[in-house]
Amino acid sequence: MSPPRTTWVLTQEAFDGLLLWLDPDRERAGQVYGEIQRKLIKVFARRGCPIADELADETINRVAKKLAEIRDSYVGDPSLYFYGVGNKVFLEYVRKRPEPLPLPRPDPPDRIENSYRCLEECLELAPRSSRDLFLEYFRPEKAHKIEHRRELSQRLGISINALRTRAHRIRAALQQCVIDCLERSSG
C-alpha cells in the first residue's frame, strides 16, 4: 500500500525555508532535519509500517507545504510539529486498508489424490519404527496430544524433546519423499 500523497512537490526554495525554520545555522538545521527524519522513520517502523521512509517523506513535505502559514505564529520546538503531522499521516495510512489478497485456489482433486497416494507410498517405504513413531506422534486429537506424547516418550525411554526431534525429522523426510513423488508423477 502506498502512503497518502499530496500533489504538492517539495521545491529547493521550500526546502531552504524549512531548514531556516529549523535553525538559522544551515549546518545545524541539516542535523536537526536528519534527526527529525530518522525519528519519524523509527516511529512509523515501530508501529509496523512497511513504508516508514515514505511516510516520513510525506510528513516532511506536508510540513514544508504548510510552513508559510505557520512560520510566524508557531511557538515551540519545530520537531514537535513534525511529529504531530506524522501522527496524522500514519492515521490516514492505517485507515486506507490494503485490499485483501485473493484466496489461493484449492488444489485440483487429482493433485490431492496424488498427494495421498504419494504419502502412502512414502509411509510404506519408511522403516517400520519411523512409520510407527510418526503415526503415533501425530495421531491424537488436540485435547489429548500433550498427555499422549508424554506417555509415548516414557514408553520409548526418551525425553519429550528427543521425541519431538525424532518425529519432526521423520516428518521432514516424509515431506521430501512426497514432494519427490509428486514431481515424478507430474513429470
**Residue 17 pLDDT exceeds 70:** yes
Annotated domain spans of the chain: 12-95, 109-186
Say what the pLDDT of residue 187 is: 65
Tell me: the pLDDT tens digits for 106-143? 778 888 888 999 999 999 999 999 999 998 888 867 66
**Residue 34 pLDDT exceeds 70:** yes
Say what the pLDDT of residue 5 is: 54
**Residue 6 pLDDT exceeds 60:** no
Residue written as grid cell 496430544: 145
**Residue 86 pLDDT exceeds 90:** yes
28 pLDDT band, cuts 50/70/90, is very high
DSSP assignment letter at 8: -
